[in-house]
Structure 1
Amino acid sequence: MIHQALIRRQRLILLSFAVLILLTVFVSMGLGYSKVSYGRIIPTLLGNGTFKERFVLFDVRLPRIIITVLAGMALALSGSILQSVTRNDLADPGIIGINSGAGVGVALYFLFMPIDAGTFAYVLPMVAFGGALATSVLIYLFSYKRHAGLQPVRLVLTGVGFSMALSGVMIVLISSADREKVDFISKWLAGNIWGADWPFIWALLPWLIVLVPFVLYKANKLNLLALDDSVAIGVGVSLTKERLVLLLAAVALAASAVSVAGGIAFIGLMAPHIAKSLVGPRNQLFVPVAVLIGGWLLVLADTIGRNVSSAADGIPAGIVVALIGAPYFVYLLLKKI
């Protein structure tokens, strides 16, 4: 039974972060190489802007902003699942190899497959999912012991090893590629939000529409999986089945996000931790908060990256997130020791 005061606290925090996202989005829409007056943003959104204002907002800035919010939400939800399933607070799709697997899939597709501009945005998440899924299956097999089942700590360590190995594979792949393709993959690895167009939004949005309610539906199972195996088995949870299903959901969320937002790590690590510190460890409470925090963190990082550098593309959002996330990861690691 969740205390009513805690539920009210969660709702207030959800409202606060929703407002924070809207404010950050509003600020982001007015910033950039082609500035739009803040007094003209609302009229332009309502259809009363000039051609330039409509072009800057609807064709350049708004798709990128929406992509960053959705990708941040997906990565935060993926990290929330992984931390509960692995019972490891340091789990994150970027740290344990899922992002690297998706990246290798994207690189293979981009380098060696014929690309159709009309279907590229919709095929890419599936390719990333295939690469991430293949990597996750291998990590799972190496982490599984026949008589002891899945070992959460072993899974994280194996994932870190696979992440390093796949980074090496990526370097080998791009070492003999064309300059244009190498530039694209390099930007992807740095976490540059490149899928900044409306088709990429429609490619990413269905994953969230389906998987956010699904994960909330599985919240009680996640609470039990976060406990000792004997406790979960004692209340009738099928450990192998539930872990596989939820890991598959985490893989799908991470792969769909990084396929359009690049190799971004640490969002899935930080957002769940911040949410747990605000509303506690129950998945019913912290998962919705983590989703909003993830969306806000990534859109904030992208807004900062676009505007603090004079370079054409600014600083990739993945680098801005890493500058915050790496020290946070070390802090969490020191707490564990």
Structure 2
Amino acid sequence: MKTSRLLRKQPLIVSFLVLLILATIVIGIGIGASPISYGRLIPTILGHGAFEDHFVLFSLRLPRMLITLLAGMALALSGAILQGITRNELADPGIIGINAGAGVGVTVYFIFAPINVESFTFMIPLMAFAGALITAILIYAFSYTRNDGVQPIRLVITGVGFSLALSGVMIVLISSVDRTKVDFISKWLAGSVWGTDWPFILALLPWIIVLIPYALYKSRALNLLALNESTAVGAGVSVSRDRVLLMLAAVALAASAVSMTGGIAFIGLMAPHIARALVGPKHQQFVPVSILIGGWLLLLADTVGRNLSEPNGIAAGIVVAFIGAPYFLYLLLKKEG
């Protein structure tokens, strides 16, 4: 009975979240340093607005909002996958160090590689993925034991350690470069959305289009992996292969997102937890809800952050951290208790 209620509830929650995202976009368009009157919004969308309104909407506001929406979706899905394959409710790509690994990849590329304007937008996610993948392999190796597999608390502690160490590596790397590059990396570390033009959306979109359907397709395997290995094996799941492929998907999603929005943590932690509370623990049910919640959370954080102070606002990563850090501590204490 409870399961059938949750099945009926999910479409309503999905519809509500879609409306919430659209409402946040409309509100975000109408506020800020160059607000667009809501009365002029529809004519501008239809191509009949003033040049200033058209420029603000299509060159400034919409690209940034779509980037934050897509990145939040990717981070939420990455967190949901990581929590499933590690059986650890505290797993998040930012907390366990994957985002920091992506940051080192971006930093090394930005500092040492020759920057080609035409390829830069598309190379950034690839470099972030390379750094995140190496980091994920190391974290997994340090958290794994032959007898017990991956230990949940050890995974979090190891990831936090790697995150701090890699943040130190980034500081060392930028200590000897020119001021412009230092400013870019510093903003990246704070979670400042920097990929705010249409080419960045085109660079991020393929990762989303490929990996979201793949994760939904693997929902049954995630359900079984989240229980225990013996159950998954008994149900015909190729545990080692699926775990590796899903880990690669989670790393790729997180890396592609943070390559555009900087080092943002906690979205991948909060969104799956909220989604499970709303529609239950089955991945078929809560993953779509988690994706929408993650997109909305980052969109809201960036909208609030860029309007809190002038002229540059507050980084979205800092706004998210104000909510996410206490939430993480609450979950950690709850798990220990």
TM-score (norm 1): 0.97
Residue 166 of structure 2 is aligned to residue 163 of structure 1: no
SS at the partner of 1:94?
coil
Q: How many residues align?
A: 336
Residue 52 of structure 2 is aligned to residue 45 of structure 1: no
Q: CA deviation at 1:148?
A: 4.1
Q: CA deviation at 1:145?
A: 2.7
Corresponding residue number in structure 1 for 2:334: 335
Residue segments in structure 2 that go unaligned for 5+ positions in a row? none
Corresponding residue number in structure 1 for 2:80: 80
Alignment of 1:28-177 (within 5 A): 28-177=28-177
Corresponding residue number in structure 2 for 1:320: 319
Please give the alpha-carbon distance, in whole angstroms, between the structure 1 residues aligned to 2:143 and 2:301: 34
Q: CA deviation at 1:2?
A: 9.0
Residue 298 of structure 1 aligns to which amino acid in structure 2? L
Please give the alpha-carbon distance, in whole angstroms, between the structure 2 residues aligned to 1:99 and 1:235: 33
Q: CA deviation at 1:49?
A: 0.8
Residue 191 of structure 2 is aligned to residue 191 of structure 1: yes
Corresponding residue number in structure 1 for 2:202: 202
SS at the partner of 1:118?
helix
Q: Which moved more, 1:294-303 or 1:143-152?
A: 143-152
Residue segments in structure 1 that go unaligned for 5+ positions in a row? none
Residue 329 of structure 2 aligns to which amino acid in structure 1? V
CA distance change for structure 1 residues 284 and 2 in 2, over 3 Å: closer, same or farther?
farther
SS at the partner of 1:315?
coil
Task: Work out whether residues 200 and 260 of structure 1, in 8 Å CA contact, stay in contact via their aligned partners in 2.
Answer: yes
Corresponding residue number in structure 2 for 1:299: 299
Corresponding residue number in structure 2 for 1:241: 241
Q: CA deviation at 1:124?
A: 0.5
Q: CA deviation at 1:150?
A: 3.5
Residue 57 of structure 1 aligns to which amino acid in structure 2? L
SS at the partner of 1:119?
helix
Please give the alpha-carbon distance, in whole angstroms, between the structure 1 residues aligned to 2:333 and 2:149: 28
Q: Which moved more, 1:137-146 or 1:26-35?
A: 137-146
Q: CA deviation at 1:147?
A: 4.6
Q: CA deviation at 1:66?
A: 0.4
SS at the partner of 1:55?
helix
SS at the partner of 1:34?
coil
Please give the alpha-carbon distance, in whole angstroms, between the structure 2 residues aligned to 1:133 and 1:83: 17
Residue 163 of structure 2 aligns to which amino acid in structure 1? S
Task: Work out whether residues 143 and 158 of structure 1, in 8 Å CA contact, stay in contact via their aligned partners in 2.
Answer: yes
Q: CA deviation at 1:3?
A: 4.1
Residue 290 of structure 2 aligns to which amino acid in structure 1? A
Corresponding residue number in structure 1 for 2:21: 21
Corresponding residue number in structure 2 for 1:214: 214
Q: Which moved more, 1:131-140 or 1:100-109?
A: 131-140
Task: Work out whether residues 307 and 314 of structure 1, in 8 Å CA contact, stay in contact via their aligned partners in 2.
Answer: yes
SS at the partner of 2:264?
coil
Please give the alpha-carbon distance, in whole angstroms, between the structure 2 residues aligned to 1:122 and 1:2: 46
Residue 220 of structure 1 aligns to which amino acid in structure 2? R
Superposed CA deviations along residues 215-258 of structure 1, whole A, max 9, x for unmatched, are: 01100100111112222222232222111110000000000000
Residue 126 of structure 1 aligns to which amino acid in structure 2? L
Superposed CA deviations along residues 133-186 of structure 1, whole A, max 9, x for unmatched, are: 111111122223345444444333222211111011011111111111000000
CA distance change for structure 1 residues 241 and 2 in 2, over 3 Å: closer, same or farther?
farther
Question: How much is the aligned-residue C-alpha RMSD, in angstroms?
Answer: 1.4
Task: Work out whether residues 86 and 153 of structure 1, in 8 Å CA contact, stay in contact via their aligned partners in 2.
Answer: no
CA distance change for structure 1 residues 99 and 79 in 2, over 3 Å: closer, same or farther?
same
Residue 88 of structure 2 aligns to which amino acid in structure 1? N
CA distance change for structure 1 residues 273 and 17 in 2, over 3 Å: closer, same or farther?
same
Residue 117 of structure 1 aligns to which amino acid in structure 2? V
Superposed CA deviations along residues 47-89 of structure 1, whole A, max 9, x for unmatched, are: 1111101000001111000000000000000000011111111
